[in-house]
Amino acid sequence: MLDAVEFIRGPTNTTWGALRAKMGHPAPFPLKTIGIGNENWGKEYYSRFYPLAAGVKAVHPDLKVIAAIDPHVIRDPPRGKESWAEIRKGEVDFADEHMYASPSYWLNHTDRYDSYPRDHVPVYIGEWGTRDIRPDWIDGLYVSLAEAAFRIGIEKNSDVVKMVAYAPLARRRGAPRDGFSLLDVTTDAVCGNPTYYAEKMFTHNRPDRVVPVFYPKVTTRQPAGWDREKGPFNPKAEAIDVVAFHAGAGLAGDELVVKLVNAASAACPVTLAFDAQLPAGKVSRETLSGEPGAKNTPEEPTRVVPRKDAFDFAGGKTLDVQLPPYSFVVLRLRR
């Protein structure tokens, strides 16, 4: 492991740094974090992790070390708790949680990190995505809306969750698979799926600081068959009540950024109430919406993409907006 780190970031007067330079890359790579293990768990793993982590820190004290958490962390919560109990026994910079679930799980568990302790190891969500969806809706819009709702919950808890990585990033169209990706790749094209565009909306509208948002619980009935049959969260793919409306907000420079999800089949009228008077001006709006099963293909790569527009705001302490059915909307207002 130390040889690998030296190859990546060691100076050229070291054995492995010299080899990297000989191979054509004399400049060190900016490695900042290293994960020891992947989807490992149990006392045996942690008994080996801590000596390895100490060895890395002894030579590279600036490297952040990531420990694995039991990959059943959401499917079997007691196993996740056992991993966290081991994590708290030693020095760890990040704990790597992996989670794959159904749309109904994401919509109903956006508060997952609300109760995480604020005074211990921060979370790195190293893998996450929607696996348990009806097969013909994989990579469809409804998936991206459920994930956007969960992402709002992650962003709200960014003091706990420091890093997030969707998985997988890309897949070759036509290859065997059991799920999903941000990008579909063919020999001559790359196609972004709706979740790719939802993630892009989060990236381009990242706040400097989140602010509290309060809203009523609004539920809708997710029809039978939308979750995948034999999945761990809704094994019979039954009709299930889901929280359909989700909201988050933050400050970015002189703007208020508001993120809204409507996972219901009807339009949703929303009144935003602010704790201070906002000035008159234009409100920029970005909307990802469509039919729940709609997806992009290499033949029709922009069927489901965000649409941008703007509208006038007279100023004040409230703003009325209408969310389309099955939509993810981002608003930016001057403050």
User: Residue 209 in contact with residue 160, Cβ under 8 Å?
Assistant: no
**Distance of CA 166 to CAs 115, 175, 181, 266, Å?**
23, 19, 8, 29
- Of 6, 39, 86, 97, which is the active-site residue? 39
Q: Is 238 tagged catalytic?
A: no
Instruction: Classify residue 156 as exposed, middle or buried by CB count within 10 Å of its CB (0-12, 13-18, 19+).
Output: buried
Nearest alpha-carbon partner for 164 in 120, 98, 209? 98
The 33-36 sheet, strands edge to edge: 33-36, 64-68, 94-101, 123-130, 161-164
Q: How far apart (Å, rounded) are the C-alpha atoms in residues 210 and 10? A: 38
Known catalytic residues are: 39
